[in-house]
């Protein structure tokens, strides 16, 4: 069965795509070009959207690009309900894949509850990425996502502070880190985990998947550095793709 990249509809990046496109057109094109299908959840998320009648996960990846009501739409309720949290955790433990991308405060406030279910703490601390670039010295090439060495840099503006709980049982592996503006110690940008039979990836920013030229809620950086390769590598790992995804590097031209 063709895998589906299933986007959470109550998230800031999806809301912007619907109201002020083309926020995610490059990412959507990559999905189509790889032969995957794309869908959006009908929220609140239920077990029936993630698991079949036998409790097996539907093939694909659940993508949550920051639970936040960007335009204060009264029909969007970004706080996860207990039933949603249970459904997502059950899906992952049964073998499903989750890509959860949070953001700096206040955008991370509703993402905290789901992260906590996987032994991850998201703190209300704004962390700026110097030069909006995480270079190769901040990339863990021993991680399952970057083991091929095809990603040389990731471009993102900022994020929140993400830490791994001391008793986390899910084999957390750092993928990318950076030294925030004004600090001396590294902070996590991305990590992976393998809860139960499933796979989970976290990043502390979601704007890096946005198209160049779109500025809500912040400028999209998808064409910069190896962001294209990084999202492909994340999705490739989450989908257990063989061979790994290929590297992509694109520098957009500048107007005269």
The CATH number of the domain holding residue 185 is: 3.40.50.880
- In angstroms and rounded to an integer, the radius of gyration of the C-alpha atoms of the chain is 17
Q: How confident is the model at residue 42 (pLDDT cuts 50, 70, 90)?
A: very high
Return the C-alpha torsion angle 42, 45, 46, 50, nearest 10. Answer: 90
Write down the pLDDT at residue 147: 87
Phi, psi of 120 (to 5 degrees): -120, 135
Tens digits of residue pLDDT in 114-135: 999 999 999 999 999 999 999 9
Does the N-terminal peptide bond of residue 217 adopt cis geometry, omega within 30 degrees of 0? yes
Q: Does a structural domain hold residue 244?
A: no
Tens digits of residue pLDDT in 225-237: 999 999 999 999 9
Write down the pLDDT at residue 148: 78
Write down the pLDDT at residue 4: 97
3-state DSSP assignment of residue 193: strand
Percent of the chain with pLDDT over 90: 90
Tens digits of residue pLDDT in 50-79: 999 999 999 999 999 999 999 999 999 999
Tens digits of residue pLDDT in 173-190: 999 999 999 999 999 999
Please say if the pLDDT value at position 10 is more than 70.
yes
Q: Does a structural domain hold residue 210?
A: yes
- How is 67-136 classified by DSSP, letter by letter? ---TT--TT---SPPHHHHHHHHHHHHTT-EEEEE--STTTTTTTHHHHHHTTEEEEEEEEE-GGGEE-G
Does the N-terminal peptide bond of residue 106 adopt cis geometry, omega within 30 degrees of 0? yes
Domain count, the chain: 1
Write down the pLDDT at residue 38: 97
Smallest CA-to-CA distance from 209 within 87, 102, 86, 83 is with 102
Tokens of 79: 């706080």
What rounded mean pLDDT belongs to the chain?
93
Q: Does a structural domain hold residue 95?
A: yes
pTM: 0.94
Residues of the domain holding 39? 4-238
């Amino acid at each position: 069965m063709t895998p589906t990249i299933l986007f959470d509809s109550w998230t800031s990046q999806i809301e912007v795509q619907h109201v002020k496109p083309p926020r995610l057109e490059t990412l959507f094109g990559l999905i189509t070009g790889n032969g995957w299908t794309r869908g959006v959840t009908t929220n609140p998320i239920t077990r029936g959207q993630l698991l079949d009648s036998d409790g097996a996960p539907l093939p694909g990846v659940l993508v949550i690009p920051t639970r936040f009501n960007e335009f204060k739409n009264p029909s969007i309720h970004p706080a996860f309900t207990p039933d949603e949290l249970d459904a997502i955790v059950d899906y992952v433990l049964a073998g499903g894949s989750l890509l959860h991308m949070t953001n700096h405060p206040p955008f991370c406030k509703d993402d905290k509850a789901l992260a906590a279910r996987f032994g991850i703490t998201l703190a209300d601390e704004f962390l700026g990425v110097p030069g909006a670039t995480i270079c190769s010295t901040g990339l863990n090439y021993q991680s399952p996502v970057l083991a091929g060495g095809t990603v040389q840099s990731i471009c993102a503006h900022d994020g929140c502070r993400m830490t791994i709980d001391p008793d986390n049982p899910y084999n957390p592996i750092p993928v990318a880190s950076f030294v925030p503006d004004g600090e001396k110690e590294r902070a996590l940008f991305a990590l992976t985990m393998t809860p139960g039979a499933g796979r989970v990836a976290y990043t502390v920013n979601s704007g890096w998947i946005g198209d160049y030229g779109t500025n809500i809620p912040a400028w999209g950086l998808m064409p910069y550095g190896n962001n294209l390769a990084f999202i492909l590598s994340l999705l490739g790992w989450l989908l257990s793709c063989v061979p790994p995804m290929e590297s992509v590097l694109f520098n957009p031209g500048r107007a005269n």
